[in-house]
Chain A
Amino acid sequence: MRRVTRALERLGFSLAVLALVSPAVLVFLWMLSLSLKNELDNTAWPPVFIPDPPTLDNYRDVFARNDFLLYAWNSVVVSFSATGFALLVGVPAGYGIARMRAMRAAALILIARITPGLSYLIPLFLLFQWLELTGSLLPIVVAHLVITVPIVVWVMISFFEGLPGELEEAALVDGATLWQAFRHVALPLARPGITVATILAFIFSWNNFVFAMVLAGRETRTLPVAVNNMLTFEQIAWGPLSAAALLVTLPVLLLTLVAQKQIVTGLTAGGVKGG
């Protein structure tokens, strides 16, 4: 009898896990399914679930007609520059704030994270218009710093606070300058933290939609903006749309699968999220 109840409990638990995981799995599988079927199957009723035969036409279509590669390149340039620049200024800042215990600076970063991304856009838009910079990628990179810099600083503060200061103090006693103690002692130890900050900053910059939607011209769109523009209400072109959507989010999904440990650490440390 006891064995039966335990088996039942196990079954119930397995079903609960299945119920938790299936919404995620099903949405992504449906996305994949839509992207591998022709238009006839995509608009069939009842829906066709397994592509038979699967076709890559939608993917060919995406690469052929939508300047997809240009937009992909824009996204790569924007995300890498915004993340790289944020690391350059944000890692030392996180170190300084952690060692100074400058809680006010930390609070400012927190408020920046709380503020809606959209609210930075009006002043930045007016500023870039005034500087006549619209039409290049530079405004988009600068706007993305609003997301990446707080993420990097926040993750690095909590990381450096967890590092014992003794090693640096020993270096200082031996006559090293503060910069040397940071560069040769603290920085090598901070590599795991920097990895976490890099991954999170990159993902939230890659995923960002609203900055590029307002600031980008025809030639400077990033992938999320480009894929949103493909959505036309007049005609249903679900296949190419799903293929494009999948291609946009695929790098992030792969990165999550590879680096889930770092992502979990970073998100639980500060609960940071962009936008």
Chain B
Amino acid sequence: MPRDAAVLDGAGSAALPRRRNYARRYAWFVVPAAVVVIAVIVFPWAFTLYVSAFDWRLGGERRWVGLGNYETLFTDARFGWAVVRTLAYTALAVVAPMLLGLAAALCFHRRFPLRGLARTVFILPMMATPVAVALVWTMMFHPQLGVLNWLLTQVGLPPSLWVYSADTVIPTLVLVEVWHWTPLVMLLILGGLASLPIDPYEAAKIDGASPWQAFRHITLPLLAPFIVVALIIRTIDALKAFDTIYVITQGGPGQASETINIFLYLQAFAFYNVGYASAVVVVFFAIIMLLAALLLWTRQRVRVT
């Protein structure tokens, strides 16, 4: 017995360097993708940093300004408002889909007739082409002829101006976002529900726990890691929202729905101010990474407790 163990041990230590050698040889599999990633992902990051140090107009002059663009950015009220709007939009577009997605996941976790079909229909919005969907919503939001205002008057509510008023444009755009992305939250949480053990529930049943108690004290704590993953993904996606906002309002009315992404687009491709826009990219990226890191940190804490 001890001899066998020694042999095994010896084989193990001999295999270790060989295995490391193998690991290096696997690197060849990654080379083509690495070239592509460097060309279309890493190079743009580096080049953006470089461009952000210039006063660079498309088809015009180019002048080194160092950190000048960043200084301008931090005193630019229009950018400040874009940040505020983005955060407000993100808060709404995270909380609502998280709550609805959790409820939907609990529904779809139960067995019922036609569940497969219902789930497929439920995830359709997430896969649909955002531009196509945004166009339909634009028509539905029409203040005079839109079907949504007709529905409001049918239930006795006053018609709304939807995306045509500065007061209602952000919640209205969030409505589209909720419609679009609640399914992804649902799927991520549903995956978590499917992986839960059944033993605690049986024990709780024997102890006479109510369904609500079981949910509050068993399901929620076990589900917490999945909820946090969904939260991280949803937050990042909400921060990055562009297609529907651009198609429906282009940042309007006025600048009432101009988020960081829209501001960035306008600076770069409407005002051709690519140096300034690159500085926006860098700051925007920092904001996203900061929020992602913050959420990851909460995830670690959730794991510990």
Instruction: Using CB atoms and an 8 Å cutoff, list the residues of chain A in contact with chain B.
Output: 13-14, 16-17, 20-21, 23-25, 27-28, 30-31, 34, 43, 45-47, 85, 88-90, 92-93, 95-97, 99-102, 105, 108-109, 111-112, 114-127, 142-143, 145-146, 149-150, 153, 178, 182, 203, 206-207, 209-210, 214, 223-225, 227-228, 231, 236, 238, 241-242, 245-246, 248-249, 252-253, 255-257, 260, 263-264, 267-268, 271, 273, 275
Contacts and interface: CB of A to CB of B under 8 A. Distances in A.
A185 B229 CA distance: 33
Contact of B131 (A124, A143, A228): A228
A100 B21 CA distance: 10
Interface string B112-139: 1000001111111101111111011111
Q: Is the interface of B mostly helix, strand, loop or mixed?
A: helix
Which among B26, B133, B150, B188 has the highest number of chain A CB atoms within 10 Å? B26
Interface of B: 22-23, 25-30, 32-37, 40-45, 47-48, 51, 103-104, 107, 110, 112, 118-125, 127-133, 135-140, 142, 144-145, 147, 150, 179, 184, 187-188, 190-191, 229-230, 233, 236-237, 239-240, 242-243, 246-247, 261, 264-265, 268-269, 274, 277-278, 281, 284-285, 288-289, 292
A256 B123 contact: yes
B118 A17 contact: yes
B135 A116 contact: no
B47 A126 contact: yes
Given A123-B48, A256-B124, 14 more contacts: A30-B136, A45-B145, A47-B147, A119-B281, A120-B41, A227-B131, A228-B135, A236-B142, A249-B128, A249-B132, A256-B127, A268-B191, A271-B233, A275-B243
Contacts of B37: 108-109, 112, 149
B129 A116 contact: no
B129 A122 contact: no
B122 A24 contact: yes
Given A124-B40, A273-B184, A100 B26 contact: yes
B247 A122 contact: no
B33 A153 contact: yes
Contacts of B30: 92-93, 96-97, 100, 102, 105
Contacts of B29: 92-93, 95-96, 99, 178, 182
Nearest to A35: B136
B76 to A, nearest CB: 18
A23 B110 contact: no
Contacts of A126: 47, 51, 274
Contacts of A127: 47
A246 B136 CA distance: 9
